[in-house]
Amino acid sequence: MEKISETYEPAPDDALDTSAVAQSVTHQLRRAHGQFTNRFLLHFSRLSLRPAEFSVLSLIAQNPGRKQSEIAAALGIQRANFVVLMNELESRCLTERRSAPNDRRSHAIHLTPDGESLLADARRAEADFEADCLERLGGTRARDQFLTLLRRLLG
């Protein structure tokens, strides 16, 4: 039996027109970064490592004994903000600031054994995380292209 009055359906649940915003690098970069950071924090919550902290540990491991400001500059982090990061890592006994031999102003940054150990754990966690990232992006070629494009945005 047919319905008596087949009223026109005005689609009350209509999807919004997002065309302007969907084409905006500004908007997409902000969203992608936000979601990405959240996933990272979730994935590394067991290790209590934030994205910036993981980058710091990685770079120190590859460049032990360098000055605090050298590490900061290589990561694109300002000296003032880097101090707080290092305080946090040092309070967890992951890094240490040794006195530099020829310049009493500067600190030579090193990982502690605890820091080396946590970094080893973190690198295993990162392998999973970057694999998920790789899958989302669509393979190594897409990932490399993505990294290239991100670098072009710098400077």
Positions in the binding site for its own copies (CB under 8 A) = 16-37, 40, 51-52, 54-55, 58-59, 61-63, 66, 70-71, 74-76, 126, 129-130, 133, 136-138, 142-143, 145-147, 149-155
CA distances for 70 relative to 16, 35, 78, angstroms: 48, 30, 10
CB of 147 to its own copies, least distance (A): 6
In the chain, DSSP finds a helix count (H) and a strand count (E) of 7, 2
Q: Does 87 bind DNA (CB under 7 A)?
A: yes
Note whether 44 and 133 are within 8 A (CB).
no
Which residues form the interface with DNA (CB under 7 A)?
A: 30-31, 34-35, 37-38, 41, 50-53, 67-70, 72, 76-84, 86-87, 97, 100, 103-107
